[in-house]
């Protein structure tokens, strides 16, 4: 199986979900529209099933844009870091480029 690839520049969280959905399920593909839905998709049957590797191109731009602070069980993290944590917890290796 080829690696799903986030290849467009992510401008915000909505474009992240859209880009991820298309990377995994093709044009117009769905893979969540909020953090809970993303976790649900990662747990069952919405396309790629963990474990898999996600190639995140243009990740520096996404890191610069996904800076909204989110409360976590361990404190506070940026949305970008929280997404990486969610992927890691679900057994998804993320390659940042």
The model's pTM is 0.88
Largest distance between two CA atoms of the chain: 36
* Residue 1: pLDDT band with limits 50, 70, 90: very low
Going by C-alpha positions, the residue among 18, 27, 21, 17 that lies closest to residue 4 is: 21
Residue 6 or 22, more confident: 22
Locate the domains of the chain by residue range: 5-96
Mean pLDDT over 17-34 rounds to: 91
What pLDDT score was predicted for residue 2? Answer: 54
CA–CA separation, 22 vs 4, rounded Å? 9
Residue 45 or 88, more confident: 88
83 phi/psi in degrees, rounded to 5: -60, -45
* Residue 73: pLDDT band with limits 50, 70, 90: confident
């Amino acid at each position: 199986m080829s690696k799903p690839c986030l290849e467009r520049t992510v401008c915000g969280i909505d474009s992240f979900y859209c880009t991820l959905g298309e990377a995994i399920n093709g044009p117009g593909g769905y893979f969540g529209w909020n953090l809970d839905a993303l976790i649900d998709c990662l747990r069952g049957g919405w396309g790629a099933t963990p474990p898999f590797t996600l190639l995140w191109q243009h990740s520096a731009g996404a890191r610069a844009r996904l800076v909204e602070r989110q409360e976590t069980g361990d404190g506070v993290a940026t949305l970008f870091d929280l997404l990486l944590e969610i992927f890691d917890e679900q057994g998804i290796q993320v390659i940042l480029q």
